[in-house]
Structure 1
Amino acid sequence: MLNTPLIVKRAVFNYITINQDDHSKNFAFLADDNDNWRLSPFYDIVYSPSPYKEHMTSFNGNGRLPTAKALELMAGHAGYANVTPLINMIEEIYHETRSFKQEALNLGISNALISTIDSHISQQYRQFNN
């Protein structure tokens, strides 16, 4: 059985971190010799803002900002009774991004780019919470 909640978490991660190049080729599945399928490891996850400010993979047809209805549908498709698990995912992902600045500095990324990315991540998070 596929891990649907994990797919939803990846979609939320892509939204929060502005990976707008989240097209269908960036989601893959692996099968073992017994034809048991599982989600592949997460890949091609980078800060990638689109010039159109929209995700390639939309949230119920909306590539800019998931509506409350879109979140409800995602939660339902993932087997959740309500959006609370999605809200928890959003909180968890945003909390984890708070270490981004230091990690980016350690990698030698410019302060200007770090500030831009961190500002965009915080803006995405605030949009989810409004």
Structure 2
Amino acid sequence: MSLLGLQDGDTATYTDIAEYIRMYSISPINDLHELWRRIAFGVMISNLDDHLRNHGFLYAGNNQWRLSPAYDLNPMPRYKKAREFTTWISEEGPDADLELAYSAAPYFALKPDAAKSIVADVALAVKSWQEIALRLGMSEADMEIYETAISVKV
């Protein structure tokens, strides 16, 4: 948020964040691809509370930055909130939708095949969430609730 010169309550899009990555990142292509991967992951798990405070950067010296590790990722069951991102993917609208993500992929230095490959990788990681949840002791009732949030349809 600070890197973008914004304050609490201000809004920006993922494509706005991408512009700042291009200007300030020590590794812009890697950070752009990682940010787009997070969009795909957010769509698949309905991480809809993706406000600007949840997008951080780490100082790398010499007025350059790196995208911080991802944090505060929370699946949002569908009955609680419409499938809309707080931080829109682009000016096209708030929908947490892979088609919108694909249309914005060029802003993140991604060609269509690379974007599809990232989505496939993310889907592979997400599809086993129920096995992991059971192993960690999540109840079946809670799993039913979160089933409405997590979708790996690509």
TM-score (norm 2): 0.68
Counterpart for residue 34 of structure 2 = 6
Is 1:43 matched with 2:74? no
Residue 104 of structure 1: CA displacement? 0.9
CA contact 1:100–1:118 (8 Å) conserved in 2: no
Residue 35 of structure 1: CA displacement? 2.7
Q: Structure 2: give runs of 5+ residues left out of the alignment.
A: 1-25
- Partner SS for 1:115: helix
Counterpart for residue 79 of structure 1 = 109
CA contact 2:37–2:118 (8 Å) conserved in 1: yes
1:108-127 aligned at under 5 Å gives the runs: 108-122=137-151, 125-126=152-153
The CA deviation string for residues 37-74 of structure 1, in whole angstroms up to 9 with x for no partner, is 101111001212452331112232322243746523x2
CA contact 2:48–2:96 (8 Å) conserved in 1: no
Aligned Cα root-mean-square deviation (Å)? 2.2
Task: Give the distance between the partners of 2:75 and 2:52, measured in 1 at CA.
Answer: 17
Identity of aligned residues (%): 25
Task: Give the distance between the partners of 2:54 and 2:35, measured in 1 at CA.
Answer: 11
Is 1:55 matched with 2:85? yes
Residues 69 and 107 (structure 1), Cα distance of their counterparts in 2 relative to 1, 3 Å cut: closer
- Partner SS for 1:62: coil
How many residue pairs are counted as aligned between the two chains? 123
Residues 66 and 98 (structure 1), Cα distance of their counterparts in 2 relative to 1, 3 Å cut: closer
TM-score (norm 1): 0.79
Residue 26 of structure 1: CA displacement? 0.5
Q: Structure 1: give runs of 5+ residues left out of the alignment.
A: none
Is 1:32 matched with 2:63? no
Task: Give the distance between the partners of 1:79 and 1:89, measured in 2 at CA.
Answer: 13
The CA deviation string for residues 17-47 of structure 1, in whole angstroms up to 9 with x for no partner, is 1110011111011113433310111100121
Runs of 4+ displaced beyond 3 Å? 65-70
CA contact 1:29–1:37 (8 Å) conserved in 2: yes
One-letter code of the match for 1:101?
Answer: Q
- Partner SS for 1:121: coil
Residue 86 of structure 1: CA displacement? 1.6
